[in-house]
Amino acid sequence: MKGARSFATSWPVAEKLCEASMEQPSPPGGPFSATSASFQDAVRTLNSLQTNASYLAEVKRRRGDLQTQLETMKLYLARSGLQVEDLDQLNIIHVTGTKGKGSTCAFTERILRNYGLKTGFFSSPHLVQVRERIRINGQPISPEHFTKHFWRLYHRLEETKDSSSCVSMPAYFRFLTLMAFHVFLQEKVDLAVVEVGIGGAYDCTNIIRKPVVCGVSSLGIDHTSLLGDTMEKIAWQKGGIFKHGVPAFTVPQPDGPLAVLRERAEQISCPLYLCPPLEALEEGEPPLTLGLEGEHQRANAALALQLARCWLQRKDHQGIGELKASRPSLLCQLPLAPVFQPTSHMRHGLRDTEWPGRTQTLRRGPLTWYLDGAHTSSSVQACVRWFRQALHRRPKSGPEVPEVRVLLFNSTGDRDPAPLLKLLRPCQFDYAVFCPNLTEVSSTDNADQQNFMVTLDQVLLRCLEHQQHWSRLDEEAASPDLWSTPGPEAGGPASLLLAPRLPHAHGTSSLVFSCISHALQWISQGRDPDLQTPSSPRDLLAHPVASSGASVLREAAAVHVLVTGSLHLVGGVLKLLDPSLSQ
């Protein structure tokens, strides 16, 4: 975009929004020493590597050369001082899927930690700090630990680069995958739960050759430019993590994708099982309590129980749950996984699981924040069910007491926001708020929140498109003159309110803000006792919608805010709602 303003933004925005990018140069001053460099130095240097967005763009250009990507990853692993055989020591549980794979991993890790095992957990993306991606016993590695391992790996790769190679460093996600393997090996974990990044067959985590067990969570449509535009094509990619003789489990899927998974498993003699529903394990037992809210989490929990039990069984552990009599499966495509009585360790593990940003509720005075990083049609459907059920269960206010519902939404990458926004309409929001995945308009104090690869204009244009989609869903069309560009006093890069729409009789009033901080200031109206944001810009109430809406929000007995559409948006909101996550 000609004349576009460059600015510092969170790297996840660059990862998902930037459609074409170039590798950034090394930071000024050359490499830092491992002893003197800070955690922020390490993250800045990590951000100087290719982002996931540029890696994806590269893969799109070289679709016929995907197998080479895995071979390249093996070479990076060797340059780092490891061989693929070394990863066998990690006793890995490898999990893929479109939705629910992170929650499944979190359930699985928590169950096995309850057995007294030392766990490693590699996941993506992170919400607030990059070190969240690499966990030991459920806790992100410390800044000191991250810094030490980062520079050790970075310098090792620098020392072993080939002069004939034009790329000395792996891309962002590859680097973190390598780093996770090194951390887990040095920590001597009993097992590692590894979440696939994108797809499965050609994901860089798939250099794992001998996992103990594999899992496939619910499948859906996402990352179509990489994985294919049908559920069957996506299932083929996900089934790429299956290994010869290694048990694998999946949840109920549509017939077509399930058939593809079965064929992929049969081709390499991988025993694949269908998880029975959680109700079958609960029969005759007290109901299971899940630490993660939402009916859809029951399928993730069912998969996690099978993965954990299989791992314990293959590693000759005792106390894995007594088998129960089960009815034959009506789905004849796959054999049914065992129906067993969950142990107390399993029950407590499911109950104690925490996985921020997924069906998470924070109650703050009159405000209740509902946080879910749903970003596909099927996951947004599940999010809507969870949100509406949560509202239905809440204590009822009297008819004379006003309550307000607010949507805070963003969608990134090549996803079509229109179907996602349409699915959110039944929630009957009073206000729809759109903003980029930027904590502040300009963030220079935290390397975890910095990248210089997108422009303010690009991300705001995306938000305006979301607002336009929302207006088309309203019963009344927006007046064309309401889309005029704000004047200089309200449209600068530090503006709070960029493009309000006037309210109308039946539609939702919608607003676009330039960053998450400004959006939260307007939504909360100073009524969230824990929310600390900079002083409000002078144009806080520059438009009638913002002014009248502020009065409504201040007077409401309860304000229910659903934050969804992007895990990165949820992460930015959490960063402001819970500053301890940044420490």
The helix or strand, by DSSP H or E, that contains position 280, with its residue range, turns out to be helix 278-282
580 is an annotated ligand-binding site residue = no
Return d(Cα 14, Cα 455) in angstroms, integer.
9
CB 84 within 8 A of CB 77: yes
Joined tokens for residue 90: 């990690």
DSSP string, 379-403: HHHHHHHHHHHHHHHSPPPPTTS-E
23 is an annotated ligand-binding site residue = no
222 CB contacts (<8 Å, ≥6 apart)? 98, 99, 234, 375, 376, 415
What are 261's strand-pairing partners?
none
Return d(Cα 208, Cα 181) in angstroms, integer.
10
The helix or strand, by DSSP H or E, that contains position 122, with its residue range, turns out to be strand 119-122
108 CB contacts (<8 Å, ≥6 apart)? 93, 95, 193, 215, 304, 307, 308
Return d(Cα 11, Cα 457) in angstroms, integer.
16
Which whole-number Å values give the CA distances from 454 to 4, 74, 306, 406, 530, in the listed order? 9, 31, 42, 28, 31
Which backbone phi and psi does 105 adopt, to 5 degrees? Answer: -60, -40
What are 273's strand-pairing partners?
249
Which whole-number Å values give the CA distances from 100 to 234, 280, 347, 381, in the listed order? 15, 20, 19, 13
358 is an annotated ligand-binding site residue = yes
372 is an annotated ligand-binding site residue = yes
**Which residues contribute to the annotated binding site for Mg(2+)?**
124, 195, 223
**Which residues contribute to the annotated binding site for ATP?**
358, 372
**Which residues contribute to the annotated binding site?**
124, 195, 223, 358, 372
